[in-house]
Structure 1
Amino acid sequence: MEHEIDRRIVKRHCCDDCEQVFTTSSNLKIHRKTHTGDKPYRCDQCGAAFAVKNNLTRHQRIHTGDKPYRCVQCGAAFAVKNNLTRHQRIHTGDKPYRCDQCGAAFARQGDLTTHQRIHTGDKPYRCDHCGVAFTRQFHLITHQRIHTGEKPYRCDQCGAAFAQQSALIRHRHIHTGEKPYRCDQCGLAFGGQDYLTTHQRFHTGDKPYRCDQCGVAFAQQGDLKRHQRIHSGDKPYGCDQCGVAFARQSGLIRHQRIHTGEKPYRCDQCGVAFARQCHLMSHQRIHTGDKPYRCDQCGAAFAQQGHLTRHQRIHTGDC
């Protein structure tokens, strides 16, 4: 008899469209709106519509600024109770979302979902300009600024503009001279936490970013991404004037000086200017007399690698 009662309860609260089961009839009624598309609750300020009244109530706090959920430990306030719950994990250290492949734990479901893409290789956010794909939406948004030239983060002291907020924060340290992040092994100080973290890998030898195709490991994620373009042939940085594409943004910046005529590297002794730093360094050897390239057969020394290469043909007979 008990099993028959259970079956009647399940049947009464089962969705006819997808067979999902609910414990109450009210929850089933709310769920059915996902199939019908019914959104009877509408915001009178912006017109946004919702299937559930509670969702409308939460939404309206955007307009009112109401944040009724407050953290008792630090006073931070939130419009939605779930956001307070996630925030409190900062204080408790609770990480309830665990990866079933590597065991890594996270405080938020969204962070676990993003992490799992490391294992699946899923990159759902694709650039409609060049086709490059990303695991996170904000990485795509930042990347697209390469194509649009958008730099929304501007320094209020010198006017320099940046595509990323983190770049602006690091830039501001130029004006303040502040370097709050100090290495506890060598005392070197940095303007950003990410710079310190990367630096500390010189002491530990840690290279956490490994290429899944050839096994080469890197201390920085950016270096791994650039390396992987060797395998993929990807060249996401395209010149908007002639269409030539590059694997690295620095390559595009150097190339664009052909069009602009810019020569930012100037010799402080004679004033000659160059488009590339390596050309300035070669030129400065005229003044210093430095000849770092030495022939291993006769000992002749040269200021430039190209001059040594031509000289060595005397010994090889390749003329």
Structure 2
Amino acid sequence: GITSEGEPGRRRKRRYKCKDCGKVFACGSNLTRHRRIHTGEKPYKCLDCGKSFTESGRLLCHQRTHTKEKPFVCTTCGKCFTCRRHLNRHRRIHTGEKPYKCQDCGKSFTLSGYLLSHQRTHTKEKPYLCTTCGKRFSWRSYLNAHRLIHTGERPYPCSHCEMTFRQSNDLRKHQRAVHRGEVQPCPIPTRPTSITGPRRDSSREKIYECEDCRKIFTCGSNLRRHRRIHTGEKPFKCRDCGKSFRESGRLLRHWRTHTKEKPFLCTTCGKRFSWRSYLIKHQRTHTGERPYACSHCGKNFRRRYHLRRHQLAVHNGEFSGGT
């Protein structure tokens, strides 16, 4: 929409207001460009790779990734860039300049995008819409991470094993905990859950104790999830059949019984599976891997229940759990 403002006797300035979020622009073309945040329109397409962009300048900048042209040089360190805006942003590393200031709290930022993201902590604006479930987010990165719940995509593979993850920080935590022997503690909430009071151990790290079974957790969210075993709470409900689950991951796996989605591909034979655990078990038919060893006789098995069955039949039910 268009609004007008100004003092009597002076020419009124036109203002262009976004009908989605209320943001006002002095120029109609700026509003048109801004509206693409809400519509998702990307009218500028790269003829080399097909990637599309909201602005012509961004397409031009992208095209240099194909030509390898980097015409913008930092005179301080000699680093070259494909776009002038990338050079200007880089220069602030040397100057320490933070030209974008929040009018609400005075905090300053090196990039306008950082300021815009920050301002949403004040305005509570959520311009990023998930078209699958209707949930809204303040930041695009949050929307992108959320969408993976619907698609089942796990774009971050571990280079050490076959596990993949939805988010890069989940991959980092896994690698520190599993492949370096360094347990990465879960972030501690600033205001711990009231389910039970946190206490500190001798190393002064906050820990969370279940008041029902006294099990200890280093993360409040893990305690909340665990408590559902005792309370019977199942907050994640399938909109197709009404079945409820304790964890969002279990709901996602259940959805695949309705959608028939099979996102996990065996690269050896092309067979697809609805669940990663099924794929991992299947892959052992190709690799010959038998990871479950009997501690009594040393015999190896592909699946844990095969080990359990063997121990019940051969070793009088003495189940060791495997290795």
State the partner residue of 2:62.
Answer: 171
Q: Tell whether the 8 Å contact from 2:127 to 2:138 is kept in structure 1 after alignment.
A: yes
RMSD: 2.9
Offset at residue 187 of structure 1 (A) = 1.3
Give the distance between the partners of 2:61 and 2:159, measured in 1 at CA: 28
Select which of 187, 198, 201 maps to 1:314. Answer: 201
- Residue type of the alignment partner of 2:72: Y
Matched, 1:150 2:31: no
Q: Tell whether the 8 Å contact from 1:132 to 1:236 is kept in structure 2 after alignment.
A: no
Give the distance between the partners of 2:127 and 2:50, measured in 1 at CA: 28
State the partner residue of 2:124.
Answer: 233
Q: Tell whether the 8 Å contact from 1:267 to 1:280 is kept in structure 2 after alignment.
A: yes
Give the distance between the partners of 2:20 and 2:56, measured in 1 at CA: 23
Matched, 1:305 2:305: no
Give the distance between the partners of 2:55 and 2:32, measured in 1 at CA: 10
Give the distance between the partners of 1:275 and 1:134, measured in 2 at CA: 37
Offset at residue 311 of structure 1 (A) = 11
- Residue type of the alignment partner of 2:201: I
Structure 2 matches for 1:61-210, cutoff 5 A? 124-210=15-101
Give the distance between the partners of 1:254 and 1:130, measured in 2 at CA: 22
Aligned with 1:156: secondary structure?
Answer: coil
Give the distance between the partners of 1:254 and 1:123, measured in 2 at CA: 38
* Inter-CA distance 289–232: structure 2 relative to 1 (3 Å threshold): same
Select which of 150, 156, 161 maps to 1:259. Answer: 150
Q: Tell whether the 8 Å contact from 2:14 to 2:26 is kept in structure 1 after alignment.
A: yes
* Inter-CA distance 129–307: structure 2 relative to 1 (3 Å threshold): closer
So what's the TM-score if we normalise by structure 1? 0.52
Aligned with 1:268: secondary structure?
Answer: coil
Aligned with 1:203: secondary structure?
Answer: helix
Give the distance between the partners of 2:170 and 2:54, measured in 1 at CA: 29
Aligned with 1:235: secondary structure?
Answer: coil
Aligned with 1:125: secondary structure?
Answer: strand
Give the distance between the partners of 1:303 and 1:229, measured in 2 at CA: 30
Gaps of 5+ in 2: 1-12, 210-323
Aligned with 2:97: secondary structure?
Answer: coil
- Residue type of the alignment partner of 2:150: H
Aligned with 1:178: secondary structure?
Answer: coil
* Inter-CA distance 242–286: structure 2 relative to 1 (3 Å threshold): same
Give the distance between the partners of 1:128 and 1:157, measured in 2 at CA: 35
Q: Tell whether the 8 Å contact from 2:154 to 2:164 is kept in structure 1 after alignment.
A: yes
Aligned with 1:280: secondary structure?
Answer: helix
Select which of 262, 271, 275 maps to 2:166. Answer: 275
Give the distance between the partners of 1:133 and 1:237, measured in 2 at CA: 18
- Residue type of the alignment partner of 2:185: Q
Offset at residue 286 of structure 1 (A) = 4.3
Kindly provide the CA deviation profile for residues 161-216 of structure 1, in whole angstroms up to 9, marking residues without a partner as x. 12222222222222222221111111111111001111111111111111112111
* Inter-CA distance 228–289: structure 2 relative to 1 (3 Å threshold): same
Give the distance between the partners of 1:207 and 1:254, measured in 2 at CA: 28
- Residue type of the alignment partner of 1:137: G
State the partner residue of 1:119.
Answer: none
Offset at residue 306 of structure 1 (A) = 4.7
* Inter-CA distance 234–155: structure 2 relative to 1 (3 Å threshold): same
Q: Tell whether the 8 Å contact from 1:206 to 1:219 is kept in structure 2 after alignment.
A: yes
Gaps of 5+ in 1: 1-121, 292-301
**Is the deviation greater in 145-154 or in 203-212?**
145-154
Offset at residue 245 of structure 1 (A) = 1.4
Give the distance between the partners of 1:178 and 1:290, measured in 2 at CA: 43
Select which of 217, 224, 237 maps to 2:108. Answer: 217
So what's the TM-score if we normalise by structure 2? 0.52
Offset at residue 284 of structure 1 (A) = 2.0
Higher RCO (CA 8 Å, separation ≥ 6 residues): 2
